[in-house]
Amino acid sequence: MTKLTGKKGLLAEEMIFFIPRILFLTAVLFAVVILIKVFLIGVVDVREVESKILVNRLLYAKNGLSYYDGDLNRVYPGIIDLKRFSELGSNNPNELDSKIINYGADNPLISAKVTLKQEGRGSLIVYYNRDRYDKWEPRVLASVKGGAGSVKAFNDKMYILVKDGETLSPAILEFNIIA
């Protein structure tokens, strides 16, 4: 075999040494493209965060579910006034909508069912955006063929005290939120 000498030989030798460099550069380029596609977030689901915000607003707002002492101008988040809670559910089913977070007359974002369970008494239920809750609840049931669809349910449970007159008794406050 004859050895190439001169300019053509040097050029051929350099081209052979560039082949591994080109392969390595191609591999690095593909790795960067794949990493960018993996870490690129296309859809951000904030429904769980919205449900937690709704629970906090229901508990910590002055016009919310918690006991409010007008003399001290203070909200007691772990205490529910039984009289006020029962009035919220009986007077107007959408009364809570205008007091806490108002997304307009036709709220397409979030709805909730709040259940107060006390030992020895029946459960009291208050709704936030009841019209949408009644429409969306069948979509989140496990029996729905093909999955829940465009809405998702979030559940939360809190142990609280119920103020009935001057007495405090333990209870459970359950939140079933559909967003």
pLDDT score for 143: 63
Nearest residue to 121 (alpha-carbon basis) of 93, 66, 78, 80: 80
Asked if residues 121 and 171 have their Cβ atoms less than 8 Å apart, the reply is: no
End-to-end CA distance of the chain: give it in Å, rounded: 77
Give the pLDDT of residue 169. Answer: 94
| Residues 100, 128: Cα–Cα separation, whole Å | 9
> Does the pTM exceed 0.75?
no
Place of tokens 């949408």: 132
Counting Cβ atoms within 10 Å, is residue 28 exposed (0-12), middle (13-18) or buried (19+)?
Answer: exposed
> What is the reported pLDDT for 149?
63
* 75 CB-near residues (< 8 Å, 6+ apart): 60, 61, 62, 64, 66, 67, 68, 69
Alpha-carbon 25 to chain mean position: 43
Our CA dihedral for 7, 12, 16, 18, rounded to 10 degrees, sits at 50
| Adjacent-strand bridge partners of 159 | 172
Q: 3-state DSSP call for residue 91?
A: coil
User: In Å, how far are 24, 33, 39, 73, 116 from 30, measured between CA atoms?
Assistant: 10, 5, 14, 62, 56
The whole-angstrom distance between residue 146's C-alpha and the CA centroid of its chain comes to: 22
pLDDT of residue 15: 78
Q: For residue 146, what pLDDT is reported?
A: 57
Binned average pLDDT, 10 residues per bin, the chain of 179 residues? 62 80 94 91 85 90 88 91 84 74 77 92 89 83 62 91 93 93
